[in-house]
Structure 1
Amino acid sequence: MSTLTPEVTWAQRSSDSDETRNYLYVFINVPDVPSSSADTKINPTSVSFKGTNIKGAKYSVTLDLYDEIDPENSKTSHSPRGVELVLRKKKLGLEYWPRLLKESKKAHFIKTDFDKWVDEDEQDEAADDDYAANFGGFGEDGGLGGIDFSKLGGGGLPGAAGGEEEEEEEEDDEDLPELEGDEKPGKKIEEVA
């Protein structure tokens, strides 16, 4: 069986004064790879992953990073969906890395993670309790980071409260002409030539 290159998504933050706000988010999409058969290595200039999923598919990827990171202050979390990494950039600075990899050639398997991405000029406005603080996107209580689901949608489904709208729809159906083949017993439809 051949070795597959997994999809890698990434985003970043930068700071010239706070090293805890100077990091990369990297997700290696390797579903169903148990942590017992996964090998993730974080070095100052590269990250590598090798593993085999429960169906026997082998994954391998090495990322030669654009600049140096601090392996001791980086985090790894293995889940059934893949490997999540928060990599601390070694150099402080407001400027974003122009790309994840050292080589400027486009890598087909690397994508921007737009769910975590914040534009460089808007990163100070991003909440401090974002992904890095609540590693994996969950709050300290294991919940969904204090999301108020009641504020996410409109008023619900039509007719769900009292069923009045359903009755009105049935009444409106009586005024519609019958479709061909939907003849009601006792009614004869005349053909027009």
Structure 2
Amino acid sequence: MAALTPEVTWAQRSSETDETRNYLYVFINVPDVPPKSADLKLTENNVSFTGTNLKGAKYSVSLDLYAEIDTENSKVHHSPRGVEMVLRKKKLGLEYWPRLLKEAKRVHFVKTDFDKWVDEDEQDEAQEDDYAANFGGFGEDGGLGGIDFSKLGGGAGLDMAGGEAAGEEEEDDEDLPELEGEEKGDKKIQEVS
């Protein structure tokens, strides 16, 4: 069986003065490929991956990069979902790379990671998640990076003990006006002809 080409997503940041803010986020989507059956190679101009998942499917991809990366200061994390990388760009500069790959032709398996992408002119204003240290927002302790779930939708304003929104009283149906053609206690509704 021929090797499958995995989906690769990417985003980037640039800086002409701070090398720690001059990097690429690259994710190779290879679910259920254990680290022991995977081979990842980083060079200044290339990222290559081969591996076999638990069901026996083989994956292989080689990415000739647009420009050079600093392999010494790049980070790799192999998770059950795939391989996450923060690749440090070798050359400092404000301009983004125009594409991930050296060759200008479009390839179907490389996609922009819009969850991490920030436009070039907005990168200084954007709140930075420390993906370089926490790989996707998970804290070093394996937690969810200090997310306060009580502030997320769905439960906003709920008093968990009483189940009602703070400051609201239970409505009484007796205070509601009657519908046209309906008498109190009568469930018949007048038909409109």
- Distance in 2, Cα, partners of 1:127 & 1:116: 11
Give the letter aligned to residue 161 of structure 1: G
Give the letter aligned to residue 116 of structure 1: K
Task: Quote how far apart the aligned CAs of 1:131 are.
Answer: 1.2
What TM-score do the two structures reach when normalised by structure 1?
A: 0.80
Task: Quote how far apart the aligned CAs of 1:147 are.
Answer: 2.0
Q: Is the CA contact 1:66–1:97 (under 8 Å) kept in the aligned structure 2? A: yes
Q: How much identity, in percent, do the aligned residues show?
A: 77
Q: 1:57-115 deviations in whole A, cap 9, x for unaligned?
A: 00000000000001111111001100001100000000000000001101100111111
Match for residue 119 of structure 1? Answer: 119
- Distance in 2, Cα, partners of 1:135 & 1:4: 25
Match for residue 84 of structure 1? Answer: 84
Please identify, of 131-140 and 105-114, the stretch whose mean Cα deviation from structure 2 is larger.
Answer: 131-140
Match for residue 163 of structure 2? Answer: 161
Give the letter aligned to residue 119 of structure 1: D
Match for residue 134 of structure 2? Answer: 134
Q: Is the CA contact 2:26–2:86 (under 8 Å) kept in the aligned structure 1? A: yes
Match for residue 103 of structure 1? Answer: 103
Unpaired stretches in structure 1, ≥5 consecutive residues: 178-193
Q: Is the CA contact 2:24–2:88 (under 8 Å) kept in the aligned structure 1? A: yes
- Distance in 1, Cα, partners of 2:10 & 2:81: 15
Q: Name segments (4+ residues, structure 1) moved above 6 Å.
A: none
Q: 1:122-176 deviations in whole A, cap 9, x for unaligned?
A: 11123344312323321234322222222221446xxx826x67x96xxx9x747
Match for residue 72 of structure 1? Answer: 72
Match for residue 176 of structure 2? Answer: none
- Distance in 1, Cα, partners of 2:28 & 2:126: 24
Give the letter aligned to residue 61 of structure 1: V
Unpaired stretches in structure 2, ≥5 consecutive residues: 165-169, 174-178, 180-185
Q: RMSD across aligned C-alpha pairs, in angstroms?
A: 2.6
